[in-house]
Amino acid sequence: MELIQFENLLKKRGARIIRNDGRLIFINAEATPDLFDYWEEDFFLLGVHPEMQAIADEHGWYFEWENAGTIVAVPD
């Protein structure tokens, strides 16, 4: 899935987009702790809500933490 399409899909799911650099999508994780939580270990997989992880997997993307407050969507 193309960057803009995936960014719009993330927005529809409630992600707060900081910016994209034409390749990566930077997300404000602090604003959406129900979707991304760096410190969550029990329910989330590496800090990503299972539903968000499934969406990324389905569309050929994955998430990487830039820091505890910012997560980045990266194309596979």
Q: Which pLDDT score is estimated for 11?
A: 98
Asked if residues 50 and 58 have their Cβ atoms less than 8 Å apart, the reply is no
CA 31 to the chain's CA centroid:
12
pTM passes above 0.75: yes
Q: Is 65 helix (H, G, I), strand (E, B) or coil?
A: strand
Q: State the sign of the Cα–Cα–Cα–Cα dihedral 54, 38, 15, 17.
A: negative
pLDDT in tens, 1-59: 899 999 999 999 999 999 999 999 999 999 999 999 999 877 778 899 999 999 999 99
Burial class of residue 28 (count of CB atoms within 10 Å of its CB; 0-12, 13-18, 19+): middle
Number of domains in the chain: 1
Residue 25 lies in domain: 3-75
